[in-house]
């Protein structure tokens, strides 16, 4: 009797895999589906051509990237130690204050798409606060996703170096 029940269970399992083969596959999410949501910046590091590592946004940067299911994104990252304006009115910032603020932050939004095979993300930048010359351009990055940790690598920055952001999924 025991032998029959083990054989019967094995047969039912095999039948289930034949009848419902997509069930296991359907549970696996695409890279794009896994990226959807809100991500908080942990660190960002740039490596110059000469190998020098630089934290352009300081030791404790603040930042957020949001990817929605409709293919839109927004990104803001800032130095935590940006100097405050003497005036509370941002339109009254001195040239030095404005320069420090601009150099200490990144802000943009647009649309995004994923190349599943290459594990890359391409941003189509509609508006870019820190560099309006980038508006209307595409920027492709390498994605490394491990659970709730996301690394976004820029293999070639404007100065010939590279950069990597580390983010954690917001809870």
**Could you tell me which residues come within 8 angstroms of residue 45 by beta carbon, excluding any fewer than 6 positions away?**
53, 54, 55, 163, 164
- Reading the chain (171 residues) residue by residue, the pLDDT tens digits are 555 455 554 544 444 444 455 445 457 899 999 999 999 999 999 998 888 998 888 889 999 999 999 999 999 999 999 888 899 888 899 999 889 888 889 999 999 999 999 999 999 999 999 999 999 999 999 999 999 999 999 988 877 889 999 999 999
| C-beta separation of 108 from 136 below 8 A | no
How far apart CA 79 and CA 60 sit, in angstroms, is 7
**Measuring CA to CA, which residue among 59, 53, 66, 80 is closest to residue 150?**
66
Do you know the residue count of the chain? 171
**pLDDT at res. 68:** 98
* Strand residue runs (E) in the chain: 37-47, 53-54, 62-67, 72-78, 105-115, 120-128, 138-146, 149-154, 162-169
How far apart CA 23 and CA 10 sit, in angstroms, is 18
**Measuring CA to CA, which residue among 84, 74, 82, 79 is closest to residue 107?**
74
Residue 145 CB neighbours (<10 A): 15
């Amino acid at each position: 009797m025991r032998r029959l029940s083990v054989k019967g269970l094995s047969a039912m399992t095999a039948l289930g895999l034949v009848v419902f083969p997509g069930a296991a596959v359907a549970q696996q999410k695409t890279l794009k589906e896994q990226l959807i949501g809100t991500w908080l910046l942990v660190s960002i590091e740039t490596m110059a051509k000469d190998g020098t590592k630089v934290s352009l946004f300081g030791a404790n940067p603040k930042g957020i990237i949001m990817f929605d299911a409709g293919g839109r994104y927004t990104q803001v990252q800032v130095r935590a130690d940006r100097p405050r304006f003497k005036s509370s009115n941002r339109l009254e910032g001195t040239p030095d204050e404005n320069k420090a603020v601009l150099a200490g932050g990144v802000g943009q939004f647009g649309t995004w798409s994923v190349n599943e095979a290459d594990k890359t993300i391409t941003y189509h930048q509609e508006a870019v606060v820190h560099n309006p010359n980038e508006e209307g351009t595409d920027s492709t990055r390498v994605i490394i996703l491990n659970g709730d940790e996301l690394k976004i690598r820029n293999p070639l920055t404007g100065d010939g170096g590279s950069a990597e952001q580390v983010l954690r999924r917001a809870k």
